[in-house]
Amino acid sequence: MKPLSLTEDPYFGFASGQPLFVKRQGSDGSDIYQTNPVKLTHFNPQSFSAKKAPGTFRIFTLGGSTTYGHPWRDTTSFSAWLREMLAEGDGTRRFEVINCGGISYASYRTAKLTEELLDYEPDLFIVYNGHNEFLEERTYRGAREGAAWTHSLSLLLDRTRTYSVLRRLAKPPGGGKPLAGEVDDVLARTIGPTSYVRDDTLRRDVLEHYYASQKRMALLAKTVNARVVYLTTPANEKDCSPFKSEPTPGLDDAQRARIAAWMARGRSLEASDPAAAFALFDSAARTDPRNAEVLYAAGQAALKARRYPEAKALLVRALDEDICPLRALPPMREMERRVARETGSGFVDFTGTLEAATLRDQGHAILGEPDFVDHVHLTVDDYGLIAQGIFAEMARMGLVRPRAGFTGPSDSGFARVRARILARLTPQEEGLGYHNVAKVLNWAGKTKDAARIALRGLQKDTVSLESIPSSLFVGAQLEREGQSERALPYYRHALRLDPNNGDAIRLMGQALLRLGRDAEAEPYINRMAAQDPNVAGTQEALAKQAYAAGRFTEAVRRLRAITVRDPGNVEARMMTAGALMNLQDPGAAEKELRALLAVNPNAADAWMGLGVVAESQGDVGEAIRNYQRALQLKPDMVDMVQARSALNALTGK
């Protein structure tokens, strides 16, 4: 019987899934392994000989989307750089580098994948994990309770057959929920980071599971005499605000008021007096030390004030306190070091490498742009920097014999490798990467950042279908900034590529309406209605257009389609009443207004409308009462001027 650590995850089981590689016959008739077609949604296409040729050193790179090469592909990934470096820098044997990076894959999934890869004659595994640990919903209820004796002993005993038998016999009921065979990430099922909440117990359990999964990979590798190199995974600290923040638990109302005042005052001083702004933000951070948004603001102010050590500490804390942790958490860095030490594996502190490069180039060690294109993914040159670190560690471990002239990044061999890699990054390929990044940022609600990156993508690529969302992101941001006219070319570009794109049709029609160009908007609005006549926004736009054109019967019909679903919609009810008054039907108008008051008795606009109806029918007393009621509810609102004027006229004041 195999030890438990080599046959199952100590926390979770997995539903049966498809293998990553399937055997096929190559063009020369020999057997090869190729990426399973059903896995190509998450993995790059790769292939290698079923029987490893003599003298070949086979490397599998494991991890999430960074290992995959996102936002680009394998051709510019750190796996690709390493292939070129090994071919250029060591002529003693043949190297194979097979990219097994899976988009959204967390450490427990890469550990499970390692079990399969043991059958393919591996010599080395390179592991770059950490950013995806919170993507899938998991529960550790039974796993933690049952682990009081099983998990605490596992680090010493989990390689023994006796422990494996005990664990299988005594597995507690209600343990961790089995995970699906393929990734079920939270991102794919939410409109934004809304489903994440602060859960310190879950955070602790995820970190423990991460450590166990990382260590398990080395134990698996040893069963086939393969080695492992672990890398630390840096994240964007400086140029990525938290995805979701929550105040520190237990704050009272007085503390919350002080924090709000400090934050407001600090924001007013950010541009003119960074030092004073930092002092205010720092006070807020000391009072609200677990609020990621407050910590990030304090870190940004410290950075502007050139107080770099404080800025680094605050921004790292902001990352650590992010309620939606889509970046590797700071404790994982030391976990990688610890696992490497305990298993005798290789180790590359790539976080430290990037900090040193940032310090050299920017005068501080705070990670962010230009190295990061989003919250975790790096530039193609930085993927090369990862490969350099791996190459150097392989040399230290005696796995590589560097040729003369290939001992450092300034050598000619590295220059040749870089030239070959960058030649693969065509403008369209580069643009596709930025389009992918923009989608994720828009999902996260970072619409301004999404538009900025989308524009960068459009500067490289405007021909692919992937440029459509980017065009819409840029256009929508321009409209948010009050520049509807400038948004139109972006919507037109999207419609040229896809004339039936519903979002582009809707945005174009609404932008033209905002600009008062109703005649131009009409065909887009009509197409919106044809695609989905029940969409409230479509009906509202059509109703407004009909009302403005004097087609009051049509306006009433469309507005009532809205109020059937939303009886308390003040704007729709008031427009309906107005249209009915124009149709000389004050009785029907009154019914609309009273229907609104049945849902919302304090709708001042409805009382004002009833005053207009009563006055049109000559009922001065009723008109006065309705106007007075409207003014009691909204005495200072601009739209009550009409009611006040009418009341004054009726009462002779």
What is the structure's pLDDT at 170? Answer: 40
The answer to whether residue 66 is domain-embedded is yes
pLDDT at site 522: 82
Residues 369 and 441 in one domain: no
3-class DSSP string for 182-225: CCCEHHHHCCCHHHCCCCHHHHHHHHHHHHHHHHHHHHHHHCCC
Is 316 inside a domain boundary?
yes
CA 285 to chain centre: 25
Residue among 636, 567, 562, 555 at smallest CA distance from 606: 567
Q: Helix, strand, coil: what percent of the chain each, to 5?
A: 60, 5, 35
- Decide if 350 contacts 386 (C-beta within 8 A): yes
CA 436 to chain centre: 11
What pLDDT, on a 0 to 100 scale, did the predictor assign at position 641?
52
**Could you tell me if 118 and 266 lie in one domain?**
no
Q: What tokens does 163 get?
A: 């422990």
Is residue 420 situated within a structural domain? no
Contact 452, 89 (CB under 8 A): no
> How far apart (Å, rounded) are the C-alpha atoms in residues 644 and 353?
70
The rounded distance, in Å, linking the Cα atoms of 546 and 578 is 13
**DSSP character for 191?**
S
Parallel/antiparallel/unpaired status of strands 31-35 and 47-49: antiparallel
- CA dist 263 and 198 (Å) reads 22
Specify the pLDDT at position 392: 94
Is the preceding peptide bond at 330 cis, omega within 30 degrees of 0? Answer: no
The CATH code of the domain that includes 365 is 3.40.50.1110
- 3-state DSSP assignment of residue 346: strand
DSSP-derived letter for residue 104 is T
Please indicate, yes or no, whether residues 341 and 225 belong to a single structural domain of this protein: yes
Is there a single domain that holds both residue 637 and residue 608? no
- Do residues 315 and 288 both lie within one domain? yes
Residues 517 and 606 placed together within one structural domain of the fold: yes
Answer for the pair 509, 537: CB distance below 8 angstroms, yes or no: no
Averaged pLDDT in 10-residue chunks for the chain of 653 residues = 56 70 91 95 95 96 96 96 94 95 94 96 98 80 43 41 41 50 60 79 95 97 97 96 94 95 95 94 97 97 96 98 95 97 98 97 96 94 96 96 77 88 92 92 87 95 94 95 94 96 90 85 81 65 76 85 84 90 91 92 88 87 86 67 58 60
Domain boundary among 415, 440, 460: 415
Question: What is the DSSP-derived secondary structure letter of residue 34?
Answer: E
Alpha-carbon torsion, ordered 551, 552, 556, 559, to 10 deg? 60
Helix (H, G, I), strand (E, B) or coil at 12: coil
- Is 246 within the bounds of a domain? no
For residue 199 the two structure tokens come to: 């859960």
* Residue 421 is assigned to a structural domain of this protein: no
SS3 (DSSP) at 183:
coil
**Shared-domain flag, residues 344 and 447:** no
Domain termination site, one of 348, 381, 415: 415
Q: Is residue 424 a part of any domain in this protein?
A: no
Domain for residue 248, yes or no?
A: no
| C-alpha–C-alpha distance, residues 367 and 352, integer Å | 10
The answer to whether 302 and 318 are in contact (CB under 8 A) is no
For residues 1 and 10, give the distance between their C-alpha atoms in angstroms, rounded to a whole number: 16
* In contact, 15 and 178? CB cutoff 8 Å: yes
Longest Cα–Cα distance in the chain:
106
Inter-residue contact 564 to 533 (CB < 8 Å): no
Q: Take residue 75 and report the two structure tokens written for it.
A: 């051709």
Separation of CA 406 from chain center: 38
Residues 215 and 76 in one domain: yes
Number of domains in the chain: 4
Q: Are residues 84 and 166 in the same domain?
A: yes
Q: What is the CA radius of gyration of the chain?
A: 31
- In a domain, residue 174? The reply is yes
Boundaries of domain holding 339: 1-241+325-415
The β-bridge partners of 63 are 101, 128
CA 551 to chain centre: 45
- The type of residue at 354 is L
Q: Residue 52 and residue 124: Cα distance in Å, rounded?
A: 14
Q: Given this model, what pLDDT does residue 560 score?
A: 86
The closest alpha carbon to 61, from 30, 5, 94, 100, belongs to 100
Domain boundary among 320, 336, 353: 320
313 and 330 part of one domain: no
The pair phi, psi for residue 180, each rounded to 5°, is: -65, 160
The pTM is what?
0.76
In this structure, the answer to whether residues 544 and 634 fall within a common structural domain is no
The CATH number for 287's domain is 1.25.40.10
Same domain, 214 and 69: yes
Rounded-to-integer distance, Cα 378 and Cα 368, Å: 10
